[in-house]
A and B are shown apart, each in its own frame.
Chain A
Amino acid sequence: MSSVFDPKVFEDVEEGHKKWEKKLDKIFSSKPERLERFSTVSDREINRIYTPEDVRDADFANDIGFPGEYPFTRGVQPSMYRGRFWTMRMFAGLGSAKDTNKRFHLLVNQGQTGLSTAFDMPTLMGYDTDSPKARGECGKCGVAIDSLKDMEDLFEGLPIDRITTSMTINPAASILWAMYIAVAEKRGIDKKIIGGTIQNDMLKEFIAQKTFMCPPVPSVRIITDTVEFGTKEVPRWNTISISGYHIREAGSTAVQELAFTLADGIAYTQEAIGRGLNVDDFAPRFSFFFNSHLDFFEEVAKFRAARRIWARVMKERFKAKDPRSWWLRFHTQTAGCSLTAQQPYNNVVRTALQALAAVMGGTQSLHTNSLDEVLAIPTEEAATIALRTQQIIAEESGVANTIDPLGGSYFVETLTNQMEEEALDIIQKIDDMGGMLAAIERNYPQQEIADSAYHYQRQIDEKEKTVVGVNKYVTDEDIPVEVLEIDEELENLQIEKINRLKNERDNKLVKESLEKIGDACAGTLNVMEPLIEAVKNYATLQEICDVYRQVYGEYRDPGIY
């Protein structure tokens, strides 16, 4: 309960600081500072220097403390990277399930410790490849999954009882998860031991990424079904990956990313408690997913603030007692939106700096973007460089040798405090609106993000912010980068596969199991059991999603710009 500083210190510091500022004013009076205004990528103004004055009230035990101890500012585990490194989890998915399966085998052989799956747009949106809405999209930005058949191909030969799998899927998350469970059960693996993550975060879809199917309220209901089922039946699974990544990619500031993500987390927690679940039974399985953007110190502070806010929210607001409920465990991906098509090799450097910030911020797992991400789906070579970037940070740079190396920096602690305070203000505003669902209905977060995105783009256009190779140090030469092509034939093959499946399976069983899903949706029964049954009967993804759409209606873009 006491300041880390002896009050007497401040007299000297204040005097010294004033003297130093005067000296600087003199220097800059003849030759001004390099910029009129120094600000972060989120346009937060930054001072010339930070001193003990800025963290005058810092209370070591309550605000900073030790890793693994409340409020976890310095990390959730006591040992952090002294024990083991973060999980190097690279997102992969392209073309057909068989193609992606090959890439997965390669990644596992290279030493990757967890798989991460990207799906194509029709899968993400709940359409089969043969839907008219899916024309031209098959396999384009991830793997196409139409039924359990594809899922079986995807994980063929992979030890899913030993590796963990992360699936980046939202509206159709419950179904893909049911498929994964079905694959395990068909191999005789108990669902109690399988581990992984489904993103399953619809709130940020309405806010930012815009991959949606049903309206917000029923969407959250399905999510709560998965939380309930996971808590009871698949205890090693992370049922929601509460994601700020896409909020940031959509153009938010760092603080908005932090605040909206945590507000989403609060909403899911409230829903699950409303379902009658005990907070300590499900909260430890919530994980988070953040962006690591260009502004190094701001990002480190964001991660530190996130842990502190969440710990306090869970303990004080939701009265969680299990310390694991207080932990904000998170996955990080470097900022795709920061990469440039111009001089693409520079992207390796950007990604390295962002990865470094994530590590200094204490991430549990990390995806590093490939240099060609802004051009198309990464080639194998580019993906390997991205993985090597993490390995160099981990094993060559030495930054992982001590825990929270930036803790105690006047600057970083100040930024951490500022971000916490500002995020709490936004969360309060959302609470006053009636929570995140109500805020989304009012388009509040959507509008805030649209404004920030436009502001940033204008700053780039007016050269207030530098983007190397885009608005400064521009070169004319074209640097050729090999781009991965997705075979256009895949769409037809995939459609043939669906047609074959629909002829071979027991269509009566499919119909019955779809009806059961419809009943569960319309009533209060948890949908997961009927889903697992339906996918085992080879109901297709769209057939199931169509049931959702019939019962709940479709959500349409409110068109906020």
Chain B
Amino acid sequence: MGNNRRVRVMVAKPGLDGHDRGARIIARAYRDAGFEVVYSGLHQTPEEIVEAAIQEDVDMIGLSSLAGAHKYLFPRTVELLREKSAEDIVVCGGGIIPEDDIPPLKEAGIKEIFTPGTALDDIVKWVKENVKPR
């Protein structure tokens, strides 16, 4: 067993919105950056995402939302992680998120928000700098 810690992330689609272009692209970019990526699939509740993230022992959950329900879904995910004493799992989000929503989301514990147009490499770089395999 060689000591070989890798970043493990979950790419998750909370809520009913099915626009998964961004989620799928980011999953591939993470893989190409050498991460192990667990993909949640579509239409997940925050409860399902958190349970899966814990079972998979990921270092980070990346949430993607394009249909406006981020204000409930993102903070709810962080809240559930806290309830399960798993707040060491970093949560970040991406998608169509209005500028004004970002400060309250960050306050709720979402570490970073990536808005449309962010380069894949910048996102990967952020993860490398901010998410350390535990």
A483 and B102 alpha carbons, distance in the complex (Å): 13
Asked if A136 and B18 sit within 8 Å, CB to CB, the answer is no
Q: How far is the CB of A561 from chain B (nearest CB, A)?
A: 4
Q: How far is the CB of A209 from chain B (nearest CB, A)?
A: 6
The answer to whether A314 has its CB under 8 Å from any CB of chain B is no
Chain B minimum-CB-distance residue to A469: B117
Stretch from B21-29, B54-62, B85-93, B126-134 contacting the other chain: B21-29
Interface string of A450-484 (1 = CB under 8 A from B): 10011001101100000101110000001000010
A250 and B17 alpha carbons, distance in the complex (Å): 13
Max chain B C-beta neighbours (<10 A), residue from A134, A250, A454, A560: A454
Q: How far is the CB of A137 from chain B (nearest CB, A)?
A: 4
Q: Which of B51-75 contact A (CB under 8 A)?
A: 67-69, 71-73
Query: Can you list 26 A-B pairs with a CB-CB distance of less than 8 A?
Result: A121-B15, A125-B16, A136-B71, A136-B72, A137-B15, A140-B67, A141-B17, A209-B18, A210-B20, A211-B18, A374-B116, A375-B98, A376-B68, A377-B68, A453-B24, A453-B25, A454-B28, A461-B119, A461-B120, A483-B98, A483-B99, A557-B20, A559-B41, A561-B27, A561-B28, A561-B39
Asked if A450 and B24 sit within 8 Å, CB to CB, the answer is yes
Asked if A251 and B21 sit within 8 Å, CB to CB, the answer is yes
Which 9 pairs, one residue from A and one from B, show the smallest C-beta to C-beta distance? A136-B72, A210-B18, A140-B68, A121-B16, A557-B42, A561-B24, A136-B69, A470-B117, A557-B41
Asked if A557 and B96 sit within 8 Å, CB to CB, the answer is no
The answer to whether B82 has its CB under 8 Å from any CB of chain A is no
A161 and B93 alpha carbons, distance in the complex (Å): 45
The answer to whether B19 has its CB under 8 Å from any CB of chain A is yes
A478 and B98 alpha carbons, distance in the complex (Å): 13
Asked if B120 and A133 sit within 8 Å, CB to CB, the answer is no
The answer to whether A127 has its CB under 8 Å from any CB of chain B is yes
Chain A minimum-CB-distance residue to B75: A136
Asked if A341 and B16 sit within 8 Å, CB to CB, the answer is no
Q: How far is the CB of A105 from chain B (nearest CB, A)?
A: 24
Q: Which of B17, B39, B115 contacts A559 (CB 8 A)?
A: B39
- The residues of B with any CB-CB pair to A shorter than 8 Å are 15-21, 24-25, 27-29, 39, 41-43, 45, 67-69, 71-73, 76, 96, 98-100, 115-117, 119-121
Given A376-B98, A377-B68, A461-B119, is A454 in contact with B25 using a C-beta cutoff of 8 Å?
A: yes
Asked if B16 and A122 sit within 8 Å, CB to CB, the answer is yes
- Set of chain B residues within 8 Å of A140, measured between Cβ atoms: 67-69
- Set of chain A residues within 8 Å of B17, measured between Cβ atoms: 121, 137, 141
Asked if B72 and A341 sit within 8 Å, CB to CB, the answer is no
- Set of chain B residues within 8 Å of A127, measured between Cβ atoms: 16
Instruction: Given A471-B119, A559-B39, output 8 extra A-B contacts at Cβ < 8 Å.
Output: A137-B15, A140-B67, A205-B18, A376-B96, A457-B25, A458-B120, A483-B99, A557-B20
Asked if A461 and B121 sit within 8 Å, CB to CB, the answer is yes
The answer to whether A418 has its CB under 8 Å from any CB of chain B is no
Given A121-B15, A121-B17, A136-B71, is A557 in contact with B24 using a C-beta cutoff of 8 Å?
A: no
A461 and B96 alpha carbons, distance in the complex (Å): 19
Asked if A132 and B67 sit within 8 Å, CB to CB, the answer is no
The answer to whether A124 has its CB under 8 Å from any CB of chain B is yes
A552 and B88 alpha carbons, distance in the complex (Å): 41
Chain B minimum-CB-distance residue to A210: B18
Asked if B121 and A141 sit within 8 Å, CB to CB, the answer is no
Given A342-B117, A461-B121, A559-B39, is A375 in contact with B96 using a C-beta cutoff of 8 Å?
A: yes
Asked if B39 and A137 sit within 8 Å, CB to CB, the answer is no
Q: Which of A210, A342, A478, A561 contacts B19 (CB 8 A)?
A: A210
- Set of chain B residues within 8 Å of A54, measured between Cβ atoms: none
A559 and B28 alpha carbons, distance in the complex (Å): 13
The answer to whether A340 has its CB under 8 Å from any CB of chain B is yes
Asked if A341 and B73 sit within 8 Å, CB to CB, the answer is no
Asked if A341 and B24 sit within 8 Å, CB to CB, the answer is no
The answer to whether A249 has its CB under 8 Å from any CB of chain B is yes
- Set of chain A residues within 8 Å of B19, measured between Cβ atoms: 209-210, 249-250
- Set of chain B residues within 8 Å of A251, measured between Cβ atoms: 21, 25
- Set of chain B residues within 8 Å of A426, measured between Cβ atoms: none
Q: Which of A136, A337, A457, A469 contacts B120 (CB 8 A)?
A: A457
Given A209-B19, A454-B25, A483-B98, is A137 in contact with B119 using a C-beta cutoff of 8 Å?
A: no
Asked if A483 and B28 sit within 8 Å, CB to CB, the answer is no
Asked if A249 and B21 sit within 8 Å, CB to CB, the answer is yes
Chain A minimum-CB-distance residue to B70: A136
Q: Which of B29, B45, B68, B116 contacts A341 (CB 8 A)?
A: B116
The answer to whether A486 has its CB under 8 Å from any CB of chain B is yes
- Set of chain B residues within 8 Å of A136, measured between Cβ atoms: 15, 69, 71-73, 76
Q: Which of A133, A453, A467, A478 contacts B16 (CB 8 A)?
A: A133
A279 and B67 alpha carbons, distance in the complex (Å): 38
The answer to whether A556 has its CB under 8 Å from any CB of chain B is yes
